[in-house]
Amino acid sequence: MIRPALGVAITGVGLWTRGLTSFAEFKAARKSGFVDLAASEFKPPKPAWLPARERRRAGLMIGLGVEVAHQACEVAGVPKDAVPSVFSSALGDTAVTEYMCRRLAQPAKVLSPTKFHNSVHNAASGYWTISARNRSPSTFVGAFLESFGAGLLEAASQAVAAHGPVLYVACDIATKPPLTAVADVRQTLGAAFVLEREDGVARDRRCLRAELRFRTGPLQTTPFPAGLEWLGQANPIGCALTLADRLAASETDPSRQGWLRFPAGPSCCVELHLEGGRGWED
């Protein structure tokens, strides 16, 4: 079953992973077929937007979400202090989860208050709102390995319903044993997109129009971009790379054609079809 489509525009992108610290770097690496990424070093983000006290408290998961959120808003040119947000993750901050489980298994069950308050799934969105002085609503979507598609649908729905921009942020960090038995996440990846209602974007703004719809039935997923299979398969939100790759392609590039399909839950997916835009390749 296919539900009615939503007309959206993608106006901003943020990205951080091994060898890539922005969407601009992604576009540059795409031209060479991403040949050097696997051998690159992962550099943890250090978002300058976080106040010093919060920066000391924040772990990798929080820094990743805050960094790509600011990147996407700057590319889109939307006010950071007013844009609603949707965050998603398959597992949340697994580094904090591992710490808490190990400490609670000890005779003296003492936890760091800072790590404890960072253990909730919406910790990154909370730090984002502090860094941007943003009091707008923030939603967290968790659907395990289908979290990216489920969160994308939520963000697009909010953008269409609210007639305004919505920030969508998806992050997962590499896991360590024994959590690898739950989800073997081998690479850290964070991505953010600003979504707006298609007919609400001014003519002088950069955007890429898209049609988004929800489908139930047999799952069909879109292959990862050539050269990025190793990265896409190593993180639950790896399909964000497929969307970034389509956004980086020119309108005449055959690789931009066709529907993108992202799992969004058991026997359902989100389909996205890019329909052209303006100024995106600048």
> Based on the number of CB atoms within 10 Å of its own CB, is 164 exposed (0-12), middle (13-18) or buried (19 or more)?
middle
Residue type, 35: V
Listed ranges 87-101, 102-116, 255-269; the one with the highest mean pLDDT: 87-101
What percent of the chain shows pLDDT beyond 90? 62
What's the pLDDT at 2? 60
Rounded to two decimals, the pTM is 0.94
Closest CA to 23 of 240, 226, 238, 176: 240
User: Using DSSP, how many helices (H) and how many strands (E) does the chain show?
Assistant: 9, 8
- pLDDT band per the 50, 70, 90 thresholds, residue 173: very high
Q: Span 235-263, mean pLDDT?
A: 86
Count CA within 13 A, CB hemisphere, residue 14. Answer: 28
pLDDT in tens, 61-103: 999 999 999 999 999 999 999 999 999 999 999 999 998 888 8
- pLDDT band per the 50, 70, 90 thresholds, residue 281: low
Strand (E) positions, 95-188? 138-141, 166-172
Average pLDDT across the chain, whole number: 90
- Going by their DSSP bridges, the two strands 166-172 and 268-278 should be labelled as unpaired
pLDDT in tens, 48-68: 888 888 888 889 999 999 999
Q: Span 169-187, mean pLDDT?
A: 92
Range with the lowest mean pLDDT among 16-20, 139-143, 203-207?
A: 203-207
Greater model confidence, 86 or 182: 86
Count CA within 13 A, CB hemisphere, residue 54. Answer: 19
C-alpha torsion 279→198→83→88, nearest 10: -100
